[in-house]
Amino acid sequence: MKISTKGRYALRMMLDIAAHQGDGYVTLRDIAERQAVSKKYLEQIALQLTQAGMLRAMRGQLGGYRLAKAPSEYTVLSLLEVMEGSLAPVTCLEQSPNACERCGDCPTLPVWQGLHDVICTYLSGITLETLLRQSENSGVER
């Protein structure tokens, strides 16, 4: 499994918005400057996150983006699933129930299922709030 730049930048964008939305809606221009990411690329990401209900958008002079929910309600897993789709390490785990004709007697399936479970458990345990607190404690600028 490899997370694309779209997934990585979406996480950085959401974290940036969470850190700065106290000032009102956050503009893509400001996020692009702080994160050193193309504004055009962020537009694509913002559209996808808005359509998924993770962001609220407002047009106009005071417009920009805000989180639709509290930072504690966004897990890294939920964000990456919106941006990347399934994080399953093998195709047969992308559907539930498993539609693979060999799943009943596949000797390797427990390996892939275990890996998938570890990935999902780990990423679902990290929220935007967790990352905000970690960066505040470490003095890292968002």
pLDDT tens digits along 89-136? 988 888 888 888 888 889 999 999 999 999 999 999 999 999 999 988
pLDDT digits (tens, 9 = 90+) for 57-80: 999 888 899 999 999 999 999 999
How open is the CA angle 125-86-28, to the nearest 5 degrees? Answer: 75
What is the reported pTM? 0.89
Residues 112, 106: contact at Cβ < 8 Å?
no
Handedness of CA 118, 121, 127, 131 (dihedral sign): negative
> Which residues, 6+ apart, have CB-to-CB distance to 103 below 8 Å?
92, 109
Q: Distance between CA 127 and CA 70 in Å, rounded? A: 10
> Which residue in 52, 42, 40, 41 sits closest to 15, CA to CA?
42
Would you state the torsion angle of the CA atoms of residues 81, 41, 2, 15, taken in this order, to the nearest 10 degrees? -60
